[in-house]
Each structure stands twice: as C-alpha cells, then as structure tokens.
Structure 1
Amino acid sequence: MRISSTASGLAIAVLAAASFGTSGVLMKPLLEAGWSPAAAVTARAIGGAIILLPITLVALRGKWDALWRARWRVLIMGVVGVASTQFFYFAAIRTVPVSTAILIELLAPLLLVAVVWARTLRMPRPLVLAGSALAIVGLVMVIGPGSIGAPDPIGLLFSVLAMVACAVYFVIAARPSDGLPPVAFAGVGLVIGALTLSVLALIGVLPFTATFGDLPLLGAMLPWWVPLLFVAVVSTALAYVAGITAAESLGSRLASFAGLLEVVFAALFAWILLGEALQPLQLLGGALILGGIAAVKAAEPADGPVELPLAEGRAATEAQVPAR
C-alpha cells in the first residue's frame, strides 16, 4: 500500500476514516451486553494485533534492521498513539460526557496547526485558518452542540491529554518510513498498544468486565465474537494500516483533518445499520468538515506537506463508544 499522490493519499485517508467509523455500530452491542469500554477496546487491540501479526512477519523479512531503526517511533506509536489515547479517554469519560471527551480529543488538528505556528513563528495561511474553523464548527454540529460544556476540571484535563496523544499519533504516523512497511509499523504498534492496555487492565487501572453470550446485531442474534472479529479486521487492522499509509503521504496536518471524517462515517453507519436518523444539522456539519479539509489541502505547499520536526531515537467514533 505505497502511495505518492495527494489524491491517492486522500482516498486512503477516507478509507481509514470509514474503517475506524465502523467500530461504533459494532462496539455498541458489546457495551450494551455488559462489556466495559476498556475491555472492548483492549480486546479490539489484541484482535487487530493478532490479525496483522503474520502479515507483519512476512513484511519484515529482510527488513528487521528497518524496524530497529524505527524502534522509538514504533514504541511511541504503540504506547502513545494507541494505548495512551484510549487510557486518557477512558479516564475522561468517568467525569465528563462522552461526547465532550470525543470533541476535545478531535481538536488534535488544531493543536498541530498551533504547534507548527509556534515552532516556525509563521502564521498559518488564511486557508488553513479558515479550514480549521470550518472543520471544528462542522465537528460540533455532527457530534451535537449539546456536547459542549463539562464542568469537571479533571475530566477536561484527561480529555486534553487524549487530544495530545491523538496529535502524536498523526505526527508519528507521518514520519518517513525509512524502509519500514506501513503494515509492519501498524502491526508492531498494535502489539505494543495491546500489551500496554492489557497491563493497565490487569493492575486495575482500567475497569475490565466482559460477557460472552449472544447479542443482537443487524436484526439477528449472533455470538459475541462476531462483531469483535469484524472490529479487529476492519476497524483496527485495516484502519491503522490505511491511516499510517495516508499520513505518510499527506503529512500529519492534512491527515489529521481528513481523520475528522471518522465521526461523519460513524454517524452515517449508525443511521444505516442502527436506524439512528441523521439530523439536518449533522448533514450540514459533515459538509463543513469536507469544506475544511478542502481548504487545508489547497493550502499545502507545492513541494510537500508541512511537518513538525521530530528527533528520532498515534483518531473517533460516535459519541456512545470509545474513541480511537
């Protein structure tokens, strides 16, 4: 899955957003059946890691030196981009509304714009500022204006930390591969993330409960592992590989804005599969997000995306389920 053009990169980014967005409708029956969010997402990460493991081993044949060179990048992806984003999100939703935590986490594109501004001391182009405004207003419309406002400062702090971890995911994913295949990067990162989440669950930092009976899905009663398997394959393995591949092509800024489409796809799948009707305000919000992405794309320099410097040594779902 090597790509070079911006158009191809955006297509893969849309695929990643759609893949991540499927987790909502499939995680929801598990949560309603008694699974804790931490248990569901830990099982998701473990499943995704298992799915990608054989492909990762094949992709790494003759390229283990590339993995060693990228060891710090892969470690940060697993611990921060995968595990920390989830950990901070779960800590936040203990005291603030789920939709508020998601909204703050998905402000990661604005954080990347602000950091580049601070590092370069150059004001972003007007199109970037306009695109940022359009995308964030659209995001609020899709999630719901009622998601704004959370009085608990600790919950807000954890939400901000989840936003930072999400921004790190996009920065790390966008770094030059240096010979490491995206599928291997995603596979090893998921293994590290799954191990980190498992340790947090085992020591009691994350609440971990699960049930193993049949549950309703798409009008039928199916075993608990059916939605989890789909989430592992599509919403995790495919989504992370596609997301990393797109970020390498688009750069962290444009990729993070394209990632906002995840919440649009989540709402769309909830409408199609769960009958949760889309409101006109949500449709308008989706259009504004697309407009924001188009503005940021138009502002990209001709010689390539603007990236944050990084010394070598992790992106949302619908409001009822864990964010990426």
Structure 2
Amino acid sequence: MYTSTRYAVFGLLLATLCWSGNALVARAFVGEIPPFALSFWRWSLALTLLLPFVAKPLWRHRNELHAAGWRLLVLAGIGIASYNSLLYAAAQTTAAINITLVNTCLPLMTFIGAGLLLGEWPQRRAWWGMAVAACGLLVLISQGSWASFSGLAFNKGDLIMLIAVADWALYSLLLRRWASFLLPIPPLALLGVLMLLGVPLILPFYLYELAQGARLSLTPQNLAAIGYTAIFASLLAYLAWNHAIRVLGASKAALSNYLMPVFTAVLGWLLLGEGLQSYHWFGAVLIFAGLLLGTRGVAINRRAAE
C-alpha cells in the first residue's frame, strides 16, 4: 500500500508537469490555434491513439460501464469537454500570472467540497500543508516584492479560469464520490469511455467557432502543440491524476496544483531561456514542503495498516 502511495505522489508530479506545459502551449499559441479547435483536436487525437488499446476492455467491462451509466457522461462533460476548453478560452484574454493565481483556488475549493460532498474533511496536517504551499505560491507570483503583488490586475479571462478551476474541483470530487461505480473499470478503459463521451460534447462548440471564422492552420508548430496536449496533457496526465484521486483522495491530490508555477518557471528556464531567480527557489522550497506536509499523513496511515 505504501508503494501505491508513492506511485500516486509521483503521478501527481507527472500530471502537474504535463499540465504546466499545457498552460504554456495555451498561452504560446494564442492567435494561432482557436481554443475549441485545440480542445477538440487534442482529445480526438488522444482518443485515436488510445482506442486500439481499450476497445476490447470496453466491451469486456460493458456491464460495469452500464452500471456507472449517466455518471460517466457527467464526468466526461466536466472533466474532458469543459475544463480544458475553459482554460484555453481564458488564455485568450488573461496573463500567465493570472492563470497561476486563480489556480490557487483549487485546493481550497476541493478541501471544502470534500467535506460537503464526501464528508471527508481534511486533517489538520493537510490544512497546514495547504497554508505553507500557498505562502510559497505567493512568493512566486509576487516575485518576492509586495509592489509586484499589489499591481496585479484581473479581467474576464480570470473569471473564466475561476469557473474552470471549480469545474476541475468538481470532477476530482465526483471521481472519489462515485468510486464504487468506477473502481471496477480499468483506468485505461475509464479514460477511453470518458473521451468517447467527451469529444462529441466539444464538437458543437468547435463547429460554432468555425462558423465565426476561426481557423486552424496545419503548420508543423501547431500540429506539434496538439500532439503534446494529446499525449502528455491528456493521456499521461489524466491517467496519473485519476489514480492519485483513488489512492490519496481529492483534497490531498489538489495540493499538487501549487507546483504548477514552479514547473512553469523551470520549463520557461529550459525552453525559453528565462532565468531562475532566488524567489523561484524559495517559493519552490515552501511549496514542496507544504505538499509533503499535506500528504505525509497518507503514507504513514497506509504503512500502519499493512
């Protein structure tokens, strides 16, 4: 069980890293790839790659899928169709720092939601972990300067991102709430059926976007961006996240969201040549400390249960 917990924590790091790259892609390709086009083709490619591996498991577990029923459609709507479409739409009109700031609402939303929907109020250790990680995040977004923090401005893109964060918190909580229906379904098959249901839900919005004149140019850069979001931000990240929810619970898994600005800063350093400053390192230390503090109790409890 302890090994399973370690895999879950590693999966959180992997998912957060992949989604940090997804946020960079969303911002880098504003004006090049319309938001619903990116969402539709991302999931369509991911489904095409996954379907040969899950077709037989889907048929083999058809009774379990039927038992889950409408719950799968709800999860596909909020986890596949809505969240990333909203994030890509938000990236059209808001800055990177604002997306990072709004994302900090996820752990708090999930903590409260876990108590209200699941009756799983996080332990005091988890709240302290969230507080420590939040302090690290504030160091990052303020660049260690109160003047930078007080000068932040917000716009309608931030409201869209706030809705996206609430959407993702609900997806994570429902994965946990409906675990008795979802656990009999293998992880790959579950992701496959969510994609099968989610892609058609995106299609009407993509067609409306086309009717408004938005077009996707098939350049090598645009195709590479879609490929990244399909393989890393969709297949790998969602499998890792869904597993972490099963093992750690929604509230503790949500703490990993504080790592996004850390990974974004590192990716910016590696890919864009942006320097890492002292406040990056200090903020990263606080965030990692908060994450370890918030999830350490899970590992201890599981080892004691062995």
Residue 193 (1) aligns with residue 198 (2): yes
Q: 1:251: Cα distance to partner?
A: 1.0
| Structure 2: tracts of 5 or more residues without a match | none
Partner residue, 2:217:
211
SS in 2 for 1:277: coil
Amino acid corresponding to residue 182 of structure 1 in structure 2: P
Q: C-alpha separation between the residues in 2 aligned to 1:136 and 1:236?
A: 26
Q: Distance between the aligned counterparts of 1:138 and 1:126, measured in 2?
A: 19
Indicate the residue corresponding to 1:42 in structure 2.
40
> How high is the sequence identity, in percent, across the aligned residues?
24
Q: Give the distance between the partners of 1:63 and 1:96, measured in 2 at CA.
A: 43
User: 2 CA distance for matches of 1:205 and 1:139?
Assistant: 38
After superposition, residues 11-160 of structure 1 pair within 5 angstroms as: 11-24=10-23, 30-31=29-30, 34-90=32-88, 92-93=90-91, 96-117=94-115, 124-144=122-142, 146=148, 149-152=152-155, 155-160=157-162
8 Å CA contact 2:8–2:240 kept in 1: the answer is: no
Question: Is the Cα contact below 8 Å between 1:182 and 1:241 reproduced in 2?
Answer: yes
More helix by share: 2
| TM-fit CA distance, 1:117 | 4.5
Which residue of the other structure, out of 163, 168, 188, is the alignment partner of 1:183?
188
Within the alignment, does 1:273 sit opposite 2:279 as a pair? no
Among candidates 203, 223, 226, match of residue 225 of structure 1: 223
2:258 maps to 260
Partner Cα distance (1:113, 1:236) in 2 = 24
* Structure 2 counterpart of 1:309: none
CA gap of 1:268–1:132, structure 2 versus 1, over 3 A, is: same
Distance 2:120 2:231 in 1: 42
Cα RMSD for the two superposed structures: 3.3
SS in 2 for 1:180: coil
Q: Distance in 2 between matches of 1:35 and 1:143?
A: 27
Contact 1:85 1:163 in 2 (8 A): yes
Question: Are the counterparts in 2 of residues 78 and 192 from structure 1 also a CA contact under 8 Å?
Answer: yes
Give, in whole Å, the separation in 2 of the partners of 1:147 and 1:166: 26
Separation in 2, partners of 1:206, 1:242: 36
TM-superposed CA distance for 1:169, in Å, is 2.2
Do the aligned residues in 1 keep the contact of 2:93 with 2:157 (CA within 8 Å)?
Answer: yes
- Report how far residue 56 of structure 1 moved: 2.0
Q: Which amino acid aligns with 2:131?
A: A
Partner of 1:236: 234
Q: Measure the CA separation in 2 of the matches of 1:66 and 1:48.
A: 23
Matched letter for residue 258 of structure 2:
L
Conservation of the 8 A alpha-carbon contact between 2:2 and 2:299? no
Is there any run of 5+ residues in structure 1 with no aligned partner, and where?
216-223, 305-324
CA distance in 2, matches of 1:205, 1:101: 26
Residue in 1 that maps onto 2:171: 169
CA contact (8 A) 1:131 1:294 kept: yes
Q: Residues 102 and 209 from structure 1, CA distance in 2 versus in 1: closer, same or farther, beyond 3 angstroms?
A: farther
**1:310 paired residue number:** none
Structure 2 counterpart of 1:271, one-letter code: W
